[in-house]
Amino acid sequence: MTPNSRLMAVAGLTAVASVLLLAAALHGQLHAQEPSPGVAEAPLPADINPVTRYRLPLPTRADMTSDEDRQMFDELTKSRRPVLWLYNPKLAKAMEEAHQVVRFQTGLDQRLTEIAVLTTVRALNSQVEWTEWEPQAGPGKPSAVEPAIVDIIKFCKPAVGLGPKETLIINYGRELIGPGRGVSSANFAEAVRLFGRRGAVELTDLMVMYQATVTEMRAYDAHLHAGQKGLLPPPEATPDCHPA
């Protein structure tokens, strides 16, 4: 089965507002990483699991509290290893469906989706998520983002000299995720003009999903993988990403 056919097989969203937060954990769960040679690692806090790099270990079948959950756990782990959201298999299934729809089945192509996610996790200064996402947006990837655009997002530079969609996504995300009053009327109107009403909602939901991802990872105190070097500069090394 091709990637496109797998995506088309995913069930549609039901009550998006109730599942976006459930989808938040999907991306940040235990991606296999090759250690970076020569990277010295500070000791982990006492409450961090050395395997997951979170405050929780991986769920096991013994953690399931009902026959129904055990059956769903078995089904969901046939072709994948357990991840944290499988502590509740029903929510795990909803998370995956929501993630697939918002991540892959919107009017945004994958390159623009990458720009939206990078903008969101950078606005939240999430070292773990940024370090996961930046390599995925690199040259040679199916959804590659130009290095100049990654640089603008990473170092919180003004979104100038870009196409209208790229400019809008970066400015929209910085307003949406920032500490101010939210998205301006001008930027929301531009989102509707460029992507339509549905597209403006899809862009917002995508960013909200990854905002929730970072929030959940903060609860778990997520750490980089062993030997992994953070790619995000420290806050004091860059200007504020948020508009005044």
Same domain for 79 and 174, yes or no, is: no
Q: Please tell me the distance from the alpha carbon of residue 7 to that of residue 156, in angstroms, as a whole number.
A: 33
pLDDT tens string 13-25:
333 333 333 333 3
Q: Which residue has the tokens 């729809």?
A: 101
Same domain for 183 and 194, yes or no, is: yes
The answer to whether 176 touches 203, Cβ cutoff 8 Å, is no
Same domain for 56 and 153, yes or no, is: no
pLDDT tens string 92-119:
889 888 888 888 999 999 999 999 999 9
Work out the average pLDDT over 71-94: 90
What token pair was written down for 201? Answer: 């909602």
Same domain for 127 and 222, yes or no, is: yes
Domain end residue (candidates: 105, 130, 146): 105
**Residue 5 covered by a domain:** no
Total number of domains in the chain:
2
pTM, 2 dp: 0.80
pLDDT at 35 over 50: no
Same domain for 183 and 71, yes or no, is: no
Domain end residue (candidates: 59, 82, 105): 105
Same domain for 143 and 244, yes or no, is: yes
Out of 3-12, 62-71, 97-106, least confident range: 3-12
Same domain for 111 and 126, yes or no, is: yes
Same domain for 100 and 122, yes or no, is: no
Domain of 153, in residue numbers: 106-244
Same domain for 55 and 87, yes or no, is: yes
**Residue 37 covered by a domain:** no
Work out the average pLDDT over 156-166: 96
- CATH for 235: 1.20.1290
pLDDT of the residue at 20: 34
Q: Which residue has the higher pLDDT, 52 or 140?
A: 52
* Three-state DSSP class for residue 47: coil
Same domain for 21 and 96, yes or no, is: yes
Same domain for 110 and 89, yes or no, is: no
**Residue 2 covered by a domain:** no
**Residue 97 — left, alpha, or beta (φ > 0 → left; ψ -120 to 50 → alpha)?**
alpha
Same domain for 95 and 115, yes or no, is: no
**Residue 125 — left, alpha, or beta (φ > 0 → left; ψ -120 to 50 → alpha)?**
left
Q: Please tell me the distance from the alpha carbon of residue 53 to that of residue 42, in angstroms, as a whole number.
A: 13
Domain end residue (candidates: 69, 90, 105): 105
| Residues contacting 87, CB < 8 A, separation 6+ | 56, 59, 63
| Residues contacting 42, CB < 8 A, separation 6+ | none
